[in-house]
Structure 1
Amino acid sequence: MKLRFKFVLPLFISVVVLGLAGALLIRSQLTDFQGQLLRSIAEEKSREVDTAIATLATQGLEKAALFSRRTDVVQAFELAHMGNIENEADPLMQQARDELRRLLEDDLAGFKSVSGKSMQLHFHLPKARSLVRLWREKQTKRGGEWVDISDDLTSFRETVVQVNTNGKPIKGIEVGSGGFAIRGIAPVVDADGKQLGSVETLESFESVIAGAASGEGQSMVVYMNAANLSVATALQNPEKNPLVGDKFVLVTPTEDGRVEGLVTSDFLLKGQQGTVYERYGDVALAAFPVRDYAGGQVGVLVYVFDASSWTSAIRDVGFYILALMAVVLIAAGLISSFVLMRLIIRPLSLMKTRIVDITEDRADLTDSLAVTSSDEIGELCSWFNKLMEKIRNMLASVAQSSNQVASASQGLLQLAGSLNGYADTMTQTSKAAASSTDDMSSNMNTVAAAMEEFTVNISTVATNSDEMSSTISEIAVSTGKAKEMTVRAVSAASKATAQVSELGAATRDIGKVTESITAISSQTNLLALNATIEAARAGDAGRGFAVVANEIKELAQQTAKETEEIRNRIQGIQQATGHTISEIAEITEVIGDVDVIVGSIAAAVEEQSVTTRDIAENVGQASVGVQQVNESVAHVDSVVRDIARDVGQVRSVAEEVTSTAKSVHENAQNLSGLAEGLDTMVSKFKI
């Protein structure tokens, strides 16, 4: 990869990475901006609705205040108090109700003629009982019919209870039978400041919704907490006012119902806590809580508006920013590339061109690079110029040295010629000397061969005499051992004869013992016979003794029998012993004869051994003489060989001188060629 790409590629990658990072950052910022804009719109709409509610509540309170101290109104209240205000059908309260209708008929008609709608004016008796609702002909419905009574409001009109309890006016939203109502309630007091009841005007909550959603592409949907359905009886129809989850009820549906499909229970739950928003394409939803007169959360308002216009504007802004950023990055990349090419790549390319010229033998070493900056590139150019100057000086020195080498090579060529002549002379002389030494060496080899053959014969005789002497010595040793063995055999035979004689004497003694045993067994047998006879005489009394006597007799007979057998065996042993003694005597005689013969053999062997030793000594002396002759011949041959080796060394030296002369000649020619090559190489550069 070329250097320009190594510079441009990271720059390009940096531009792309910065562009992508910038695009992601801008997208993130625009997304955050859209969120902030949505939140701002939602919060602004929430403040707008709160302001409208507060304004209507104030207007209602101001209207109510107009009737709170009128004399005719006070007089009607005083009439009602004359009756039983706890009785909803009290006649005096009915008279007071009719009186108020008559007194304010013209006022209400004038208001309607101007505003186009009836003023909802409501008078209350303590503690919280309706005296008259002037926008109705009769007070309320009972069993599906309208009745004109003073119905009790205590269970669901906390504002009326508070005003009639503490005498302080109240304004704001309170859930009624029709849902959310904006109320202004003021106490009714007489001239002495005594509170007789309260007066209330109701403002339409729908007017607030209509005003808040009056712009194009805007709408407002009202949801009430389902816990207030027990009061808002008019919203209990699930077909007209469906539940959302189990926490909310729809109060004001839209015509097409498209918005209601986007609103979820979770979104409304978040809207109870504060302002939240969501986007569905170009449609944005914002939810914020509805709070009553006491600040309690009683419902949720969902503001729906078309976000396509400003979303498109933000998208266009993002596109313009990205385009501008791309232009800036591309311009920065191009400028950086130009600077790199001009200030870095170009000087480096010039250096590369100079180096290529040097490599290809066409460089002009007098040409230098222009130093246009004081940075690292400028320093590099300066040092490159110094390098070129140094190379130029080196080539000049090489040219001078090549001339000197050429002169020296001519001198070496002349020296090589002289050495070659001396070497030829030495070679011829050494060849003549080598021929003479070869003849002498051949004669000495013939003498040495003859002496070597004689030496072999003498050695053979000596070897045979040594072997004979050794054999005779072994025979002498063997005869000595044989003599010793005959002596030991005679001794052993004598001992065996004595032992056999002792065995014969022992058998004779045993025979005497057996004779005694035989005699004893005969007597025992006789005694047993006598005992048997005596037992027979004794009859039954001697029967047991007769049995014993009989056993003794049988034992004596058995003893006699065994003794006879022992005697027979002893006689056999005595006979065998006699034969053994005779045979041992014969063996002893034979061994004596062998001993005499072995003695004669030993004497003869000793004489033969002495003769053999004399022969061996004579052969040894002859071998020593032959060995001395061989040594003399070998010494002469060694001297001849030394002479031949010296002549060979002289010839080798002559050959080495010849080779050296040739090498000197070749080196001189090489030096001459190198000198010419250096001249040619240096001539290619302009120095």
Structure 2
Amino acid sequence: MEKSMKLRTKFVLPLFLTVVCLGLAGALLIRGQLTDFQGQLLRSIAEEKSREVNTAIETLAAQGLEKAALFSRRTDVIQAFELAHLGNLENESDPTLQRAREELRALLSDDLSGFKEVSGKAMQLHFHLPPARSLVRLWREKQTKRKGEWVDISDDLSSFRQTVMQVNADGKPLRGIEVGSGGFAIRGIAPVKDSSGRQLGSVETLESFESVIAGAASGEGQSMVVYMNAENLSVATELQNPDKNPVVGGKFVLVTPTEDKRVEGLVTPDFLLAGQKGTAYKRFGDVALAAFPVNDYAGTQVGVLVYSFDASSWTTAIRDVAFYILALMALILVAAGLVSSFVLQRLIVRPLGDMMSRIVDITEDRADLTDRLTVKSSDEIGELCSWFNKLLDKIRNILGEVARNSGQVARASEGLLQLAGSLREYSGVMTRSASDAASSTDEMSANMNTVAAAMEEYAVNIGTVASSSEQMSATISEIAVNTGRAKDMTVQAVTAAGKATAQVSELGAATRDIGKITESITAISSQTNLLALNATIEAARAGEAGRGFAVVANEIKELAQQTARETEEIRNSIQGIQQATSQTVREIEQITEVIGDVDAIVGTIAAAVEEQSVTTRDIAENVGQASVGVQQVNENVAHTDTAVREIASDVGRVREVAGDVASTAAAVHDNARSLSGLAEELDVMVGKFKI
């Protein structure tokens, strides 16, 4: 496609593409800048709204503290606190505390009524006893609810009112947001002290957090949604209804929903998490959202405020500005493109067209080499025209020189024809000689291959014999080792048999000693039996006095008889052992004789095997030496075969060179003929130009 394009198109198309690319790049740049501007504007609005809300919270907290301070030094208030301290501060139903509570209600009734009449709302004034117990909430008739009923007690606040604990601990005032039963509350707390500076308790006023929200979202198209950290739900008991105050993402609870729920539908848990850490913003068409953290009196993040506002006015203005800038840029780029195209046509395309017409005349053999281009400028196009005129002069001179030299070319071609004929004859003789040498080397190579194959087979057989000899030598060596082991084992067997004979002989002697002992026991039993018989007779003579002794004598006689019987059995067993021992000694002696014979035979075998092992090793060494000699012969045959192959290769290359010479001679002959024809054609071509 590029080859078929006109020069003007090649110049104009890149220019057009450049204009388009610049336009697109400019549009993207402007769009990016405007997008950044929108982000900066949105961030600025979000940060300004965050500062506005924090300022409002700080202002209300300061006002609340100032109001509370008005009641912290009043004499009648201090007297009521002193009355309360006369009671039991740990008993929420203490009657003294109740009297102090009623006294404060009576003392401040007119003040609170006047405030409500002027402001239209009740002042939320709260007095506390240390460390954190409610004395009286003056905007209520009774203190708190228990099991659905209002009761007038001094309820304990220590589990969730850290501000009260802190003020009553260090005696310093506090102000700011603290989570209460209804959510966020702006509090100002001042210590109540008597004239001596003794801390009696504290007093606080509560300001509505909703008033801050209403003031921050008072403009048209604006709204403010409050989210509290879900971890504070244990304190904010009035927000525990999931239908009215749903939990978002498991970490936030909706405190103040909007009427149409449109903003809540755009808020995501990730957006709230970003708002926990700092100012975050996002835009959904013409609706913009900004989220920023809510911090309590101690600076701890306890919630997130989401500010929604209509951004259609300034987004429309930004779009209009972008449109006008892009339109102006497009107009400038188009004008630049048209001017560039006109200049290109006037100063480049037209001179190149004249030059192209001259070149066409040259290619179609109708050129007038005496005609020249007109040089109208000193730029690159003017230089190109000047150099083109010089090129025509050069071509004119070359053609004249070609016309003069064409005759010399014709004469030289005739000499080349004769030289080519001579080369062709010499190459034929060289080719025939090389063919004869190649036949001889091929026959020699075949013979060497036969010898090499035979030697290789012989080497394989020698290798097999050597391997078998080595295996046989190893086997005989192993037999010799095993025979030696057998001889050692027979010697050990003879020794063991001797030891067994000695031990059995000792056993026979021991049984003979035991037999003697049993004979002694038998004699003693007979004597004991005789003594028992005599004792029985003597007892019978003694009459009634010897009856007991007769019983004992009778028992001794029976025991002696039993001992005699068992001793006889032991003697019989020992006689059996003596007979078996004698038989064992005779058999062990026979085994010893047999093992001695085996030892002699094994010794003879070991000597013969050792001699055979030496002979086998000699055979293996001789076969190994023969194998080495065969390998050397194979190597020499291989070297000879390689030399023959190299000779055959050299002869082949000589034959190839001879063929190349013949081909070259033929080519020279053909080129000489072509050169002669070319000289004739040059004469014809030069005649077509006017020089």
Q: Could you state the TM-score of these two structures normalised by the residue count of structure 1?
A: 0.55
Give the equivalent residue in structure 1 for 2:26.
Answer: 22
Query: What residue is the counterpart of 2:293 in the other structure?
Result: 289
Q: Which of residues 381, 384, 387 is equivalent to 1:380?
A: 384
1:300-449 correspondence runs (5 A): 300-356=304-360, 365=370, 368-373=373-378, 375-387=379-391
Q: CA deviation at 1:219?
A: 1.0
- Give the aligned partner of residue 82 of structure 1: 86
Counterpart for residue 246 of structure 2: 242
Query: Does the 8 A contact of 1:121 with 1:135 survive in 2?
Result: yes
Alpha-carbon distance in structure 2 between the residues aligned to 1:278 and 1:200: 39
Give the deviation of 1:201 after TM superposition: 0.8
Verify the 8 A CA contact 2:369 2:396 in the aligned structure 1.
Answer: no
CA shift at 1:252, angstroms?
A: 0.9
Equivalent AA in structure 2 for residue 317 of structure 1: V
1:140 paired to 2:144: yes
**Aligned to 1:259, what secondary structure does the other structure show?**
helix
Query: Are the equivalent residues in 1 in contact too, given 2:365–2:689 (CA < 8 A)?
Result: no
CA distance in 1, matches of 2:328, 2:21: 16
Distance, in Å, in 2 between the alignment partners of 1:361 and 1:140 is 119
Q: Sort the Cα spacing of 1:394 and 1:243 in 2 relative to 1 into closer, same or farther, 3 A.
A: closer
CA distance in 2, matches of 1:281, 1:135: 46
Inter-partner Cα distance in structure 2 for 1:48 and 1:262: 23
In 2 relative to 1, CA 394–152 (structure 1 residues): closer, same or farther, beyond 3 Å?
closer
Measured against aligned partners, the alpha-carbon deviations of 1:545-601 in whole angstroms (never above 9, x if no partner) come to: xxxxxxxxxxxxxxxxxxxxxxxxxxxxxxxxxxxxxxxxxxxxxxxxxxxxxxxxx
| Alignment pair present for 1:156 and 2:160 | yes
Whole-Å Cα distance in 1 between the matches of residues 382 and 73 of structure 2?
A: 100
Partner SS state of residue 253, structure 2: strand
Task: Give the alignment partner of residue 103 of structure 1, picking from 96, 100, 107.
Answer: 107
The CA distance in 1 between the partners of 2:85 and 2:157, in whole Å, is: 17
SS at match of 1:249: strand
Matches within 5 A, 1:251-650: 251-356=255-360, 365=370, 368-373=373-378, 375-387=379-391
Q: Separation in 2 of the partners of 1:304 and 1:124?
A: 39
Of 8, 12, 18 in structure 2, the residue corresponding to residue 8 of structure 1 is 12
Report the alpha carbon displacement of residue 345 of structure 1 after superposing the two structures with TM. Answer: 2.0
- Distance in 1, Cα, partners of 2:368 & 2:328: 50
SS of 2:150's partner is strand
Deviation at 1:393, TM superposition (A): 9.1
* Aligned residue number for residue 205 of structure 2: 201
2:129 aligned residue (125, 132, 135):
125
One-letter amino acid of the structure 1 residue matched with residue 13 of structure 2: L
In the alignment, the residues of structure 2 paired with residue 287 and residue 247 of structure 1 have an alpha-carbon distance, to the nearest angstrom, of 15
Would you say the 8 A contact 1:69–1:189 is kept in 2? yes
SS of match in other structure, 1:261: helix
Cα shift readout 1:213-258 (whole Å, capped 9, x = no counterpart): 1111111111112222221111122222222232222111111222
Q: Which moved more, 1:177-186 or 1:35-44?
A: 35-44
Deviation for aligned residue 1:356? 4.9
In 2, distance between residues paired with 1:389 and 1:52?
94
- Describe the shift of the 1:339–1:193 C-alpha distance in structure 2 as closer, same or farther (beyond 3 A): farther
1:145 aligned partner, one-letter code:
E
CA pair 192-330 structure 1, distance change in 2 beyond 3 A: same
| Distance (whole Å) between structure 1 residues aligned to residue 120 and residue 181 of structure 2 | 23
Does the residue aligned with 2:141 lie in a helix, a strand or coil? coil
- Structure 2 contact 368–689 (Cα < 8 Å) conserved: no
> What number of residue pairs does the alignment pair up?
409
SS state of the match for residue 371, structure 1?
coil
1:609 is matched with none
Distance 2:226 2:115 in 1: 28
Contact 2:355 2:373 in 1 (8 A): no
**What one-letter code is carried by the residue in structure 2 that aligns with 1:110?**
G
Tell me, what secondary structure is at the counterpart of 2:266? coil
Shift of 1:84: 2.5
What CA distance in whole angstroms lies between the structure 1 residues aligned with 2:377 and 2:10? 23
- The secondary structure found in structure 2 opposite 1:151 is coil
Sort the Cα spacing of 1:132 and 1:7 in 2 relative to 1 into closer, same or farther, 3 A. Answer: same
CA distance in 2, matches of 1:158, 1:299: 17
Q: CA deviation at 1:365?
A: 5.0
Paired with 2:171 and 2:53, the residues of 1 have a C-alpha distance of 28
Determine the C-alpha separation between the residues in 2 that align with 1:224 and 1:393.
99
Q: What pairs with 1:29-40 in structure 2 (closer than 5 Å)?
A: 29-40=33-44
Could you tell me which amino acid in structure 1 is paired with residue 374 of structure 2? L
Identical aligned residues as a percent = 78
Matches within 5 A, 1:167-206: 167-206=171-210
- How far is the alpha carbon of 1:172 from its aligned partner? 0.9
Q: What is the match of residue 548 of structure 2?
A: none
Task: Answer whether contact 1:222 1:301 (CA < 8 A) is retained.
Answer: yes
Q: CA RMSD in A?
A: 3.2
Secondary structure of 1:150's partner? coil
- Secondary structure of the residue aligned to 1:39 is helix
Distance 2:337 2:195 in 1: 89
SS in 2 for 1:300: strand
Contact 1:178–1:232, Cα closer than 8 Å, also in 2: yes
Residue pair 2:369, 2:393 contacting (<8 A) in 1 also: no
Letter in 1 for 2:298: A
Alpha-carbon contact 1:179-1:232 (below 8 Å) kept: yes
Give structure 1 stretches of 5+ with no counterpart: 402-669
Deviates more, 1:352-361 or 1:324-333: 352-361
SS at match of 2:176: strand
Aligned to 1:483: none
Q: Counterparts of 2:253 and 2:372 in 1: how far apart (Å)?
A: 95
SS in structure 1 at match of 2:233? helix
Task: Label 1:334 to 1:190 Cα distance change in 2 as closer, same or farther (>3 A).
Answer: same
Q: Is the 8 A contact 1:80 1:92 kept in 2?
A: yes
- 2-side partners of 1:178 and 1:7: how far apart? 76
Say whether the 8 Å CA contact 2:175–2:189 is kept in structure 1: yes
Q: Which shows bigger deviation, 130-139 or 385-394?
A: 385-394
State the shift of 1:170 in Å: 0.9
CA distance in 1, matches of 2:382, 2:114: 98
TM-aligned CA deviation for residue 43 of structure 1: 2.5
CA contact (8 A) 1:213 1:219 kept: yes
The answer to whether the 8 Å contact 1:366/1:389 transfers is: no
Which sections of structure 2, spanning at least 5 residues, go unmatched? 405-679
SS at match of 1:117: coil
Paired residues of 1:8 and 1:337 also in contact (CA < 8 A): yes
Contact 1:369–1:385 (CA under 8 A) maintained in structure 2: no
CA shift digits 1:323-364 (9 cap, x unpaired): 222223223322332332233223222323454567685869
> 2:43 & 2:198 partners in 1: Cα distance?
49
1:106-150 deviations in Å (ceiling 9; x for gaps)? 322222222211111111111111111111122122232222222
CA distance in 1, matches of 2:177, 2:39: 31
Q: 1:369 to 1:394 in 2, by over 3 A?
A: farther
Question: CA 1:152–1:338 in 2, change beyond 3 Å: closer, same or farther?
Answer: same
> 3-state SS of the aligned residue for 1:286?
strand
CA deviation after TM superposition for structure 1 residue 299, in Å: 1.6
CA distance in 1, matches of 2:328, 2:127: 69
Q: CA offset at residue 210 of structure 1? A: 0.8
